[in-house]
Structure 1
Amino acid sequence: MATIPLYDSTIGVSNHALLTLLDLLEKAKAHPEAATLAETRLYPDMLPFSTQILIVSNFAKKMVERLAGREVEVWEDNEKTLDELVARVNKTLDLLKTVKRVDLDAATGKTQTIKMGPLDSAEATTSQYVLGYALPNLFFHLSIAYGILRMKGLELGKANYLRHFLSDFFQAPAEK
């Protein structure tokens, strides 16, 4: 049976999602309504753009804590401007750079206790946590952030969303 390395499916995917967010944030900063985009919601009862960014960051951070067995300092989640959100995404990328493949080896086969919003805590295997909880949430909030910007008229397409995820396929050939 083939397996996908835990590092690639967590840290690698999180890196791609965060780089996508950086691209989206840079496009948002150039928008005429840039000053108000951070508080824009797709629908009145949904969380604003700024919170979508923070949640993607927090899921990446939580994967480091849970899977690498590290305690990471508490981040305040108080970023409100596009520049503050860019800094937050960069801070998360810097955290991910500190994780090595070997750091995740011990997580395989372990269980994770996860709190799912207002629901009770649940026990999950590492693969259940990654595939059934962490990654779906990361992609959901990344997609909502993308959707908010599209709703506000930013010229974005599927390529803007997938660019970093596909980057491993299209690396420049090594020079001879």
Structure 2
Amino acid sequence: MQAAAISAFGHYLDRIARLLDRIADADNPQTLLTARPAPGRFCAAEQLGIATGFAARGLCAVAGRETPDIGLPANLPELRAALATVRHAIGGISPADLSNRPVTHSAGQGTLTQPADEFLLHYALPNMLFHLSLAYAALASAGMTLGKADFDGLHTYAPGFSFPD
């Protein structure tokens, strides 16, 4: 479980890095980053920052390390800095560093205590993916062409492929 958690967080941090590269190459990066998936939701930059933070929030808590404060990034340089900070914070964590002790944490306005494996697999990783998904929705609604292959890095489709309407 511990090795899988480290691998999953690392994989999606790599996907965030790739997405930041795609945003940087766009004609309107800041417009993309300020797009919202729906009214009342965080913008794409904030969603990406929160998703990035969940990797550290999850792994650092279970490893007994301090979670870095990356704030709420608002632009590409801040997002790249947050990603570098999180990668540095979790870079040395090995499966042996992850304990099975309970983790007490905030969830919205509540406080939860969960076993470490439940915290990682039922809270931290799903929250990372939730915010990453909302960032994709915001970016797509702002006109960025994205697909499942962009999200998971595993799917392959022919150029111009789309599902029927």
TM-score by length of 2: 0.85
Query: Any gaps of 5 or more consecutive residues in structure 2?
Result: 156-165
Letter in 2 for 1:16: H
* Count of matched residue pairs: 155
Sequence identity percentage: 28
State yes or no: 1:92 paired with 2:86.
Answer: yes
1:113-167 deviations in whole A, cap 9, x for unaligned?
121112x21211112211221111011011111111111222221111111xx49
State yes or no: 1:151 paired with 2:146.
Answer: no
Which residue of the partner structure matches residue 25 of structure 1? 20
State yes or no: 1:71 paired with 2:61.
Answer: no
Please give the alpha-carbon distance, in whole angstroms, between the structure 1 residues aligned to 2:29 and 2:117: 39
State yes or no: 1:40 paired with 2:35.
Answer: yes
Please give the alpha-carbon distance, in whole angstroms, between the structure 2 residues aligned to 1:80 and 1:33: 14
**Residues 153 and 56 of structure 1: CA distance in aligned 2, closer, same or farther (over 3 Å):** same
**Residues 78 and 52 of structure 1: CA distance in aligned 2, closer, same or farther (over 3 Å):** closer
Preserved CA contact (<8 Å) 1:27 1:154: no
Preserved CA contact (<8 Å) 2:68 2:86: no
Please give the alpha-carbon distance, in whole angstroms, between the structure 1 residues aligned to 2:46 and 2:16: 12
**Residues 84 and 137 of structure 1: CA distance in aligned 2, closer, same or farther (over 3 Å):** same
Please give the alpha-carbon distance, in whole angstroms, between the structure 1 residues aligned to 2:72 and 2:103: 27
Please give the alpha-carbon distance, in whole angstroms, between the structure 2 residues aligned to 1:74 and 1:30: 28
State yes or no: 1:60 paired with 2:50.
Answer: no
Which residue of the partner structure matches residue 129 of structure 1? 119
Please give the alpha-carbon distance, in whole angstroms, between the structure 1 residues aligned to 2:143 and 2:40: 21
Preserved CA contact (<8 Å) 2:37 2:137: yes
Could you tell me how far 1:41 is from its partner in structure 2?
0.7
**Residues 72 and 115 of structure 1: CA distance in aligned 2, closer, same or farther (over 3 Å):** closer
State yes or no: 1:6 paired with 2:6.
Answer: no
1:46-88 deviations in whole A, cap 9, x for unaligned?
011111111112211112321101124433x143211221222
Please give the alpha-carbon distance, in whole angstroms, between the structure 1 residues aligned to 2:68 and 2:25: 32
**Residues 25 and 111 of structure 1: CA distance in aligned 2, closer, same or farther (over 3 Å):** same
Please give the alpha-carbon distance, in whole angstroms, between the structure 2 residues aligned to 1:79 and 1:141: 13
Which residue of the partner structure matches residue 172 of structure 1? none
Which residue of the partner structure matches residue 116 of structure 1? 107
Please give the alpha-carbon distance, in whole angstroms, between the structure 2 residues aligned to 1:159 and 1:73: 30
Which residue of the partner structure matches residue 170 of structure 1? none
Please give the alpha-carbon distance, in whole angstroms, between the structure 1 residues aligned to 2:120 and 2:133: 18
